[in-house]
A and B are shown apart, each in its own frame.
Chain A
Amino acid sequence: MKTKKTGFLILVAFFVIHVVFSQGRVISGKVSDEQGMAIPGVTITVKGSTKGVLTDFDGNYSVTVNTGETLVFSFLGMETIEKTVGTSNVINITMIESAQTLEEVVVTAMGIERAEKTLGYGVSTVKSDDFTVARETDVIQALQGKISGVEITGQGGGLGASSKITIRGMTRIGGSNNPLWVIDGVPISDANDYTTSRITGAIDYGNRAQDINPDDIETLTVLKGASAAALYGSRASNGVIMVTTKKGKGKSTISYSTTMRFDSPLKLPDFQNIYGPGNQGSYDEGVGDNLQDASSGWGPVISEGGTYTDYAGNLQTFTSNPDLQKDFYALGATKVHSLSISGVSNKGLNDYRISTSYSSQEGIIPGSSLEKLNLSFKSGAQLFNNLSSNFSMNYVNTGIEGAVAQGTNDPNVLTGIINRLPRTTDISVFTPWINESGDAQLAAVDFDGTNNPYWIINENQRTSDTERFFGNVSLNYEPVKNISMLGRVGYDTYNTTHFSNKHKGTIGLLDGSYTENHISRKELTLDFLTTYDNTFGDFDLTLRSGVQWNERDWSTIGNKGIGLTIPELFDPGNVESNVPWKNYSKRRILGVFGDFTLTYKKWLTLNATARNDWSSTLPKGGNSYFYPSIALSFIFTDAFEIDSNILSYGKIRGNWANVGSDTGAYQLDFLYSPQSSFYGQFNTTGTFPFDGQLAFSGPNTLPNVNLKPENQANYEIGLELGFFKNRLTLDGTFYKNVTTDQIISLLVPASTGYSRAMTNLGQISNTGLELELGALIIRHKGFRWNLDYNFSTNETIIDELGEGIDTYTLASAFNGLLVGASEGESIGLYGNRFARALDEQGNPIEDMILVNSNGLRYEGDNARLGNVFPDFTMGLTSSFRYKGWTLSTTFNWKEGGVLYSNTVSTLRTSGLAAETAIDRETLFVDPNTFVSNGDGTYSENTTPIPSVQEYWTNYSANRIHESSVFDATYIKWRELGLSYNFNKKQLQKLPFSSLRIGVQGRNLAIFNTSVPHIDPETNLFGSGSNGAGIEYNGVPSTRSIGFNIQVKF
């Protein structure tokens, strides 16, 4: 914030500077920082008087004083310096950065700025440098490990895939838990668009917060509680991420930065390289075995040198290819260029900033790429003394090619193919992948939908193209002193086109197909806000009232064309059949709100807010809901005038808030919809009209005309302490949220005729603790060592579900694996376990796993497999600075939670995982297992397994989830960056006013993980779902190393 404040102060300077002439000597000088850079806007006051001046753009000042008077140099973020005027007429000052800046102003709801000191709730702020030093293309990923109370889960190495961010745990088991993104006071969409179901070859095209250009961010503030955001309406109850973009200030500056980065897989599965394809140790084409039907890794010992016909049809001798997967993945590369021009004009009355950024990325999946262009223009103008205006416009174009399909059942799912190739496969067998006439595939993997991987990469497109615009225009009018009126129009819209095709010759859709889907979202927010601000003696009073109108439109229209006539012509006229679709929804909220803030002597602040919403989505007569909040901040060090070198700052804060919420559009009426297709497994979906007949269907979700708004109560108490002149700071928060009457689309038994039913249900509570610790450990002769640590723990408990509901399903995956909630438990993973012996009450005995008469484990009941969310997360950032050098690094620890990995299950059942090659010929007795005697008693199992193949195919079968569930704990080395800022002297001969170069690494290593074969940070469901803890053919996450140059002119 310091720079923003600077701009403002400079403005003020023009008015003030002329008033301060008086008698005495003229003292002049220059104020610079430790690097010798001039600091404009430093306030210089004469102690004991009201006299004051500011430094100019070059850090120079001159002031008229009398000898013996004391000059006070102060600047936000710098330690205040006092100098007594002696004989010299020149006083040059070097200011040093203060340890912590508790005087900061933060942007709160509605873009209102408030001093952090006066806030009754917890916020965390990340500054521009954190986004640009180790430049991430995705804003969310750059937050990893830096903020308490915020959980971020990426999705591996798929370019442009979404990152899920959750603040203070899940509060809703039905609705969205994603925080509200607000840019310069206006909400924008963070929707996650993906194709079809998550399980069946879903392609994740990212979440729209990724459109934000990290170079445009001045600060990013996370408002964690609901109280912080009561003024934004319901969506803010999940927390708000407020982005304030940079604005023009000071003299015209051109800034350019470029980043180059290289990505490679962080962790690849650990394969065996001993056994080739086949069954039960044998592979004999003489009896009809063939590579297409054989299991991948259950064949003979490779070194015995058997022969086989490879995918291209050539006779080969078994040879192991341990680097098969490594050979497949490419080296990813990211290039980012950013340019901005900013400054003020018209004697500081106008400010402007124009910026553009272009990134191009090539992923580790060959042929995958992402291109993004950002353009933005932000400007403000003081039109008259009492009227000012601001506007900002942002345009973003994001193009993704070769996005990755995850899950199963779709020919385009790639990692499933790559991981399952027999160890004898030479990846070059797949080139060429297409015949000369371009209409048939060569070297297909099998007839069950497994295509040549290069065919998928090169012939089957999966692209998305998104054009987005967001911006706002506001007018600020001050009709009289102390009263200001703000009118603002905010608009956010994007149009995205997803296109995918299956080239003619793709196994699974040999006739070829293409799918095109256009999604359009629009959000219009109108605000009218009146503020009254005044000071009465020791009291500062702020009153606000406002009206907000929010309208959201969403529509999609698309077509799937099946059976291409001319292979590369993707047009509805060129296909045998078309399945078109169309969806639309529109919702409106009208909110009226008020805000009352009273501060006494700057150390006691009371803030109360109230809002009433009318929502279009709730039943008429029941669509209005009211929600209040109250917050208190008490700085006891100021109140009790504690002025100690040890305890320099102390504040207690607390708040209570209540938030109501609505639901989606059209959930109330019982509706019949026309059908354009009927589902068929294995891509056999058929179309209506059938034999000329149209089809309609009733709803699959039972609507409910009696829905009530849901309700969330939030309690929060926090303590902020600063020691040793704030060189050591501590910020601790305890909170509890209770959400009741959730509007849920409840999974109901299909035997009722409906898959889901809309209802108000249950109670869920979140209790958590957050700790942020900052320490300036060393500050000595320009050397600084800062350590920032954060810790968060959150426990989500389902206090109450409806009667008869055993487990509420938040997201279901496959084979009975689901993310669910049971009364009295946290959100967990549920799935099939091994069959176990039963005690007299009929309950399973945990350590008595049963085997069948073949000595093999089999599936038992579906039960809880563990918590989906971690027990706690921690982040640690350490940074050293010396002169122009900065070395900083971030670690992130996530403890607890479980992860189901289908990749592990597949690698084991197919005999490819390293562990399946151990003692392959030994027919052991599965230890500590039991057999049922059929009469309620059990005896120890003595039957050896029939074969190691059958042992693993049963043990890790995807119908038994227990064996593929692991503790998801990990520690990641998120960032390492080294940069150097050239100083003034070094820059003298260069045309730059500043130059910084840096090298950086991201996701460098992973430690302390018990998940084999894959990176545990993964999520099949993406950011649009409440699901977590499940991996299915995920793309390996990446490690990246790069460098960055930033210059200013």
Chain B
Amino acid sequence: MKNIISKIKYILLISIMIMEVSCDEQLVDINKDPLAATSVPPELLFPEVLANLSSVRTIEFAGANMHAQQWCGSGGTWLSRSRYVLGVPSVNNGWTTWYTTCLKNLSLVELLVESENPNNKYVIAQAKILEGFIYSNITQVWGDVPFTEAGNPVEYPYPQFDSQEIVLEGIVTLMDEALSILEQDLDSEIVTDSDLVFNGDREAWIRWANSIKLKMLMFIANKKPEEVASKIQALVDEPLILTNEQEAKFSYTTAIGNENPKWRFIQNYWGGNINLWYAGRPLVNLMNELNDPRLPNYFETNSNGFYVGKWQGATGFAVISKINANNVLPDTPDRYSTASETYFLLADAAANGYVSGGLEQANTWFVQGIQAALDYYDGTWGEISQTDKDNYIDSFPDLSTLTPEEALDYINDQHYISLFGNGIEAWNQWKRTKSVELDVPLNAGATDVIRRYTYSTNEAGSNINTPQGLTIETPMWYEK
């Protein structure tokens, strides 16, 4: 018995020895991911932000072109979009991509700069402008959204939804912060190669920041003109995007994998043709009335040689015009902020009396806006002849001879027309001004024009602060 017990001891000892050896922390210290880095140069995050930002704008939310009633879906997904079936996965994708992939990486840019190269303040300014632009997209789609408490999971695990008013004002503040950095001459690096918008052109970033600011102030002015008029006035003399060359855009290329996603879509589904994208009635009617030289650029004629649009949600497209496929080329850019938009916003501000100069000044900007919009096609497939341009511009009355309401109608109609293909902007231009009369879609069970998307169900399912009771027909805060 003793013998056995001593043997047990011996065996236990061996076991314990093996255990002792094994429990060396080294053996289980293998938790380092070999395929990821704990720090990267911050500029490497910019392409991820921009490519994802534009992917949502161009294809995920292509339905916004239907909401603006410039386009009309004839079947499948696109008829659904015309009927306000949003494709909730799309809503989730848009929300999640913009908040996580885009805004999160921008906040990491700021974090990386501050921890590794605090002198590179220009990089922070670039990040702030992009951040503001992304929030402008988010609030134009959803209205009240997390802003002040967003992007800070430790302090605010369940961000409050800020009113659209606070978000719009916050974007203005972000632009001011960025401008105050960029306007200084600093010993700072600026993101160049990874800056797929301006390739590190500081002046260009300043212009874009001012243009974003102008747009946000014009939204706010719809509700609180007195409070923001002076700020808009101050912007008149600041550098703004005023030529087509200065426009802020994400340039897709003809390189495989870097093409415009809308083109990739029609290539995938329709062999490069336009199948289910037709003209929306309000836009076509307006342009027909004006005999707009951009009609052949935007649309194809129907079999009878006319431009005819369709009521959203209806079926039967035998005599309806299709979207001109030239608007969906591999290198068609995603236009963030354009020169014509700046002019039309300024003209709007002048006609409303937010800035000095009255209707005369409004007329000047109005004409410059049309000019920029028509010139946009110079040197491309859709170049408009000088005669057509002149005739078109001459066809408008001098706005100073009209009432401010009449003038605004002209300005905002032109603004609406100029935003063709830029769904989110066109839809919000309508919401802001209602210069064009839109239809309530057929077969949609709808009672009004769509104003916003429902909140991401992922957000609603995880954030107890998500507002309830809003419908897609609930107007935006900034609407008059």
Contact = CB atoms under 8 A, between A and B. Distances in A.
A615 interface: yes
18 contacts: A288-B319, A293-B315, A481-B4, A507-B268, A534-B4, A583-B35, A588-B27, A669-B33, A672-B37, A684-B264, A686-B258, A690-B50, A690-B258, A695-B45, A695-B47, A750-B99, A754-B100, A815-B89
Given A288-B319, A509-B268, A752 B74 contact: no
Given A545-B15, A672-B38, A693-B196, A448 B75 contact: yes
A691 interface: yes
A818 B264 contact: no
B37 to A, nearest CB: 5
A700 interface: yes
A692 B100 CA distance: 24
A586 B158 CA distance: 33
A665 B33 CA distance: 8
Contacts of A673: 35-37
A483 B264 CA distance: 71
A577 interface: yes
A950 B151 contact: no
Contact of B264 (A587, A665, A686, A690): A686
A528 B18 contact: yes
A814 B265 CA distance: 22
A679 B97 contact: yes
Contacts of A543: 8
B104 A668 contact: no
B443 interface: yes
Contacts of A592: 15, 19, 22-23
Which of A480, A683, A746, A751 has the most C-beta atoms of chain B within 10 angstroms of its own C-beta? A751
Nearest to B319: A288
Nearest to B273: A447
Interface string B92-117: 01011101110111011000000000
Contacts of A1012: none
Interface string A489-525: 0000000000000000001111100000000000000
Contacts of B275: 447
Contact of B196 (A562, A668, A690, A957): A690
A706 to B, nearest CB: 12
A287 B269 contact: no
Given A528-B15, A669-B32, A815 B457 contact: yes
B315 to A, nearest CB: 5
B159 A751 contact: yes
Nearest to A507: B269
A614 B267 contact: no
Interface of B: 3-4, 7-8, 11-12, 14-15, 18-19, 22-23, 25, 27-40, 44-48, 50-52, 55, 59-60, 74-79, 85-86, 88-90, 93, 95-97, 99-101, 103-105, 107-108, 145-146, 149-153, 156-159, 193-194, 196, 251, 253, 255-259, 261-262, 264-265, 267-271, 275-276, 315-320, 443, 445, 447, 456-464, 466, 468-469
A669 B38 contact: yes
B33 A671 contact: yes
Given A620-B25, A753-B103, 20 more contacts: A293-B75, A293-B79, A448-B78, A510-B268, A616-B29, A616-B31, A665-B33, A679-B52, A682-B268, A684-B59, A684-B264, A687-B258, A688-B51, A690-B51, A749-B463, A752-B99, A753-B100, A804-B158, A812-B461, A852-B445
A815 B253 CA distance: 33
A269 to B, nearest CB: 22
Contact of B457 (A199, A615, A862): A862
Contact count band on A: 35 or more
Given A672-B38, A695-B51, A752 B268 contact: no
Contact of A747 (B23, B86, B89, B458): B458
Contacts of A807: 461-462
A270 B420 CA distance: 46
Interface in A612-653: 614-617, 620, 623
Given A684-B265, A959-B88, A752 B151 contact: yes
Contact of B267 (A199, A446, A510, A804): A510
A670 interface: yes
A36 interface: no
A616 B28 contact: yes
Given A692-B193, A753-B100, A816-B460, A682 B265 contact: yes
Contact of A691 (B104, B258, B270): B258
A697 B458 contact: no
A102 B75 CA distance: 67
Given A577-B256, A959-B88, A480 B7 contact: yes
Contact of B93 (A615, A681, A683, A804): A681
B461 A511 contact: no
B218 to A, nearest CB: 26
Given A666-B33, A753-B107, A862-B461, A686 B4 contact: no
Contacts of B251: 691
A586 B29 contact: no
Given A588-B28, A698-B108, A755 B458 contact: yes
B447 A852 contact: yes
Given A448-B76, A752-B150, A682 B44 contact: no
A288 B269 contact: no
